[in-house]
């Protein structure tokens, strides 16, 4: 769908389909007759029957629509932006974060902080990482800017807890190593576009 329709603000020229509502009675007698008509036509029973049918379907035919939250949860769109997850590399299990600090930089509510250091393997190590969820506005910029797809928004939208601290440290957000096989790739902001390969110019290599 193009955007033309939305850009056309001149509503008067559009074609509306009018409902046939008939004529409203004008005399007192006419109005009285309409009340009688509607009362004894059985429309009330139609409504009652719909409720009854759904109840029977739900109770006896297994077509219940109510989600028993919090025991049941609906699947959530990959683009939903809830509490962050820190992902691991699938091959090595090492966390993906390289400590580049872009999320810290881009964060518009200044809620991300990280400490980094030079580790024994001559690499940059993230020694501590925290997000202040009291400030976070879940804008998704951190996930979008992350060059390693390391910080992403997860599906944990329940942000009530006894302690705010139970969300905010690196280990809390990091995929537990024993659940690495359950780690989902993220399709939201910042994910690689499906046609990414077509848009890349490859650098020639001599080997």
Partner 1 sequence: MSTVNIKIDGREVAVKEGEYILNAARANDIFIPAICYLTRCSPTLACRLCLVEADGKQVYACNAKVKEGMEITVDTPNILEERRAIMEVYDVNHPLQCGVCDKSGECELQNYTLELGVDSQSYMIPDTKREVKNWSSVLHYDAGLCIVCERCTTVCKDMIGDAALTTVKRGGEALDKGFKETMPKDAYAMWNKLQKSVIAPSNGTEYTNCSDCGECAAVCPVGALVSRDFQYKSNAWDLKRIPAVSAHSSDGFQIYYEVKPASIENRNEKIFRVTNEWNYVSLDGAARFAYDFENTDVTKDEAAFAKALEAFKNAQTVRFNSVITNEEALMLQTLKEKRGLKLYNPEVRAFQKFLGYYQKASGNRFWTTDNDAIMKKSDFVIALGSALRNDAPGMKYAFNNVQKLNKGAGLYFHPIADTLIPSFGKNVECFTHKPGLEEAALYLVLDLFADKEKLPEEVKEYLASFKTTETKTIKEKVMKDVTETVVDEETGESKEVTKKVPEMVDKEITVEKNGLVDLLGGNSSTFTDTFEKMMKKKESFSMMIGEDFYYHDKAENLAKLIALIEETSEIDVVMAPPKANALGVALICDLDDEAEGYTIGYNEIGDFRLSALGDGDLDMPAMNQQEGTFTNISKRVVPTNAAVEYGGYELNDLVSELIEEGESLTVDWTVRLPASKGFRAIEFDALPNGYSNDGTENRGYLLKTSNRKAKTPSVEKFDEHAALEGEIVYRCNPARQFSDFSDKAHEIFEPFGLYASAEKAEALGEKVEVVFGNGSIVVDVIADEKMTGDITKLSDFKSAQNVYELFGPARYQTVTMRKV
**Which residues of the shown chain bind partner 1 in the complex (CB under 8 A)?**
98-102, 104-105, 113-118, 122-125, 128, 130, 147-148, 201, 203-207
Rounded Cα–Cα distance for residues 11 and 206 (Å): 62
Q: Which is nearer to partner 1, 116 or 183 (CB)?
A: 116
Residue 92 CB, nearest approach to partner 1 (Å): 17
> Nearer Cβ to partner 1, position 11 or 206?
206
Which lies closer to partner 1 via its Cβ, residue 33 or residue 117?
A: 117
* Cα–Cα distance, 148 to 102 (Å, whole number): 11
- The bridge status of strand 84-86 relative to strand 151-153 is antiparallel
Least distance in angstroms from the C-beta of 132 to partner 1: 10
Nearer to partner 1, 54 or 115 (CB): 115
Tell me if 125 sits within 8 A of 119, measured CB to CB: yes
Strands (E), the chain: 84-86, 112-118, 124-131, 151-153
19-22 LR contacts (CB < 8 Å, sep 24+): none
Closest separation in Å from C-beta 88 to partner 1: 17
Residue with tokens 């001599």: 206
Q: Which is nearer to partner 1, 43 or 128 (CB)?
A: 128
How many C-beta neighbours within 10 Å does residue 114 have? 17
- Nearest approach, Cβ of residue 79 and partner 1 (Å): 25
* Shortest distance in whole angstroms from residue 113 CB to partner 1: 5
């Amino acid at each position: 769908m193009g955007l033309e329709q939305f850009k056309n603000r001149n509503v008067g020229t559009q074609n509306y389909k009018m409902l046939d509502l008939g004529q409203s009675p004008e005399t007192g007698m006419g109005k009285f007759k309409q009340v009688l008509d509607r009362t004894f036509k059985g429309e009330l029973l139609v409504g009652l029957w719909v409720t009854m049918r759904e109840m029977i379907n739900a109770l006896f035919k297994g077509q219940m629509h109510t989600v028993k939250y919090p025991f049941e949860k609906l699947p959530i769109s990959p683009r939903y932006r809830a509490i962050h997850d820190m992902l691991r590399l699938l091959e090595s299990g090492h966390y993906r974060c390289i400590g580049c600090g872009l999320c810290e930089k881009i964060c518009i509510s200044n809620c991300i902080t990280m400490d980094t250091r030079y580790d024994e393997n001559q690499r940059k190590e993230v020694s501590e990482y925290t997000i202040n969820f009291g400030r976070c506005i879940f804008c998704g910029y951190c996930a979008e800017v992350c060059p390693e797809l390391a910080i992403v928004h997860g599906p944990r939208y329940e942000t009530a807890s006894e302690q705010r601290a139970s969300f905010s440290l690196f280990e809390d957000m990091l995929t537990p190593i024993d659940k690495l096989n359950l780690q989902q790739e993220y399709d939201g902001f910042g994910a690689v576009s499906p046609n990414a390969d077509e848009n890349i110019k490859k650098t020639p290599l001599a080997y």
